[in-house]
Amino acid sequence: MITGQGNLPKRELTGAAVLSRETLMNRLKKDLIVSPILEPSQVGDGSVDISLGTRFIRSRPSRMTKIDFPKLDKDSVRDFQESVVVPFGDEYILHPRSFVLGCTFEFIALPLDICGFVLSRSSYGRAGLLIATATFVHPGWRGCLTLELENLGEVPIILQPLSSVGQLVLLNAAELAKQPKAKLIPVGPTFTTLDEDPRWKKIAALRPRNTLV
Amino acid sequence: MDRRVQNLHTTLSGNPRELDDQIAFNAKVALRIISAVHQQYLPLLHAGSQRNEYLIHPSIERAVELFTEDSFELTLVPDFEYNYGFVGKEHFGSREIEQLEKHSDQNTKAALTALRDKSSLKRWITFLYFPVADRDSALNLCVLAHELGHFVDRAKEIYQKLLPIELDETSFDELVEARCKAAPFGIKPKPGDKQLTFETIFTKPGVQARCYLSCTEMLEKWIREIIADVLAVHAIGPASYFAFHDFLACVGAENVASSSHPASAFRLQLMLEELKETMGYMNSSNAINSVLADAMLRVQADASTDSYNDEARVVHKTIEKNLSSLLAKIRSVVSNYSFSAQKYQDSVPAVLDRLRSGIAPIEVFDAQLQAMVPASMVAILNAGWELYKTDVACFYDQFSADVPQMERLVNLNHLLFKAVEASEVFRRWK
């Protein structure tokens, strides 16, 4: 139920709806976890501000000539990416047109009937910082969200752990029957696992065979 | 530094200009080393780049501040050997700068003196060594509590407060008698020869003095280990025992005493008895108490087979005789911070509930305040150990079938790291 403004009548919502601050506060006391909430002002109408954590995965110069996802196992990922920890109070400098994986400082656990979207804060966006490309968060998801941080501007951007870089917009969703099994409960950014996609085998099977004419 | 400068004086005595340049260069290097003894420069010492120790460092510092008023700088150093260790230097900075002053001109000397008088110069420079292999294991890193115990012992001079301790007379006399009768090293008497004894070469008082020195040296090392064990067990409760037990299992330690450490079973038994008798554990039949009670039976059986020879026998007998008074004095240091069974019961279950469901237990609900409050590091670590020891299958069950068990355990440890890190930030933020 939402309340309209002025003379507009009240409307029943049947589909997904962004959760109000009041609902969010209530759910945060029960089964929605965004932990820790350092300031009450982090919780707004429909969203919770999220901040940057201390762990990053950065790309480094390597002898890899290409990223071929079906052949990209864990060892070869580490040929061109590495984990770093930036302690609180320290900073990570993101150079123009460079890319780093970060994570949220907040640990998030969504109930089975709430889903979310990660959005950049517009102030950062205007400076050229993009924080997420894979923005949907499934109901029942747990962990620290991986943020894909990219500097689209012309000037280096200083990233500091705990800076409030984005927001998690929360909506109600059709309730899942049970908690989905986890691959991992991440507390930092995670390396790509695209090599595990079963689709690669099927794609390979469709490849035309060499035929002798 | 002093030795280095002396060497320069010797080798460059004919070239005063080169000597001055070299001394100035070495002074700069020494100053840079002193200023680099800081956690931010840890990468210099570290081959890897994932530095979980940064996440727990602030919590460790706050814990140590509870026990000592001295200023200190604490650096966690990864070690490629599977070993934990502690090195502490008192007044390291000021002593080294003092050495530089001796070899400086007037201007530099004044600047160095000013630097030495700075209150920002820490009294203690301490290094805690931990195995790189345990970098991803918050559970195993609980052994660091023992190493911090060594630091507290040094800073608060606990060992000195336990003195004097008299060596056990009977076993000491037996040791001296045995040494007097023993054949000197390297000379083996032939059958029928007149027995060549120590007494034919040395006097008995001389042998006594040597035995006394070696026994007291060993006694000091053993008692310092006991102090660190007791402080650790009081500071972080059962987690300290479990971590130490697993560490011994990992290194495949035999149950024998060495010149620096008492036998493992004796130490484990001491920790368990402290948990039981002083801290109130094992008085109920809940999960963690049952695990501890089972461990007690095994450790008692192991400890009953301990055998001590030579100096170790004297030291062991001495400690056995004085144990209750020693423990009473050590406890007085930590009595305010002891993680008793009651504190465990009050704080761990709420943290454990969250952890069991795969949630980093960063904060818990405080019924009195009607608000979320940061979980304590000790409660987080103990909840981790309780889950691992009693109900880890329930935690593992949350993962899909293709996730290897080892990765699930690593994930548990990462949740603990996250909880320690974020709860500390939460606490300081408020």
Domain chopping of chain B, boundaries: 2-132, 160-337, 341-429
ipTM of the complex model = 0.86
pLDDT, tens digit, for every residue of B333-360? 887 889 999 999 999 999 999 999 999 9
pTM (2 d.p.): 0.83
Question: Catalytic: which of A12, A91, A106, A148?
Answer: A148
At residue B249, does pLDDT exceed 80? yes
Residues of chain A with Cβ-Cβ distance to B54 below 8 Å are 54, 85, 87
Between CA A101 and CA A60 the distance in angstroms is 12
At residue A49, does pLDDT exceed 50? yes
> Which of these ranges, B76-85, B216-225, B421-430, has the smallest mean pLDDT?
B76-85
Banded model confidence at residue B317, pLDDT cuts 50, 70, 90: very high
- Fold type of domain A21-176+183-204: Deoxyuridine 5'-Triphosphate Nucleotidohydrolase; Chain A (2.70.40)
Cβ atoms of residues B422 and A108 within 8 Å: no
Contacts for B384 with CB less than 8 Å, ≥ 6 apart: B138, B139, B239, B355, B412, B413, B416
pLDDT, tens digit, for every residue of B178-217? 887 775 554 555 666 666 555 555 677 778 888 999 999 9
For B422, which of A36, A87, A109 is closest by C-beta distance?
A: A36
* Min Cα separation B430/chain A (Å): 8
Residues of chain A with Cβ-Cβ distance to B414 below 8 Å are 185-188
B51 touching A (Cβ < 8 Å): yes
Q: Which is it for the CA torsion B344, B349, B355, B359, positive or negative?
A: negative
A33 touching B (Cβ < 8 Å): yes
Structural domain boundaries in chain A: 21-176+183-204
Residue with tokens 């900073």: A91
Q: What is the DSSP string of A28-49?
A: HHHT-EEE---SGGGB-SSEEE
| Token pair in block for residue B340 | 């008793």
Cβ atoms of residues B370 and B356 within 8 Å: no
For A87, which of B54, B360, B362 is closest by C-beta distance?
A: B54
Banded model confidence at residue A7, pLDDT cuts 50, 70, 90: low
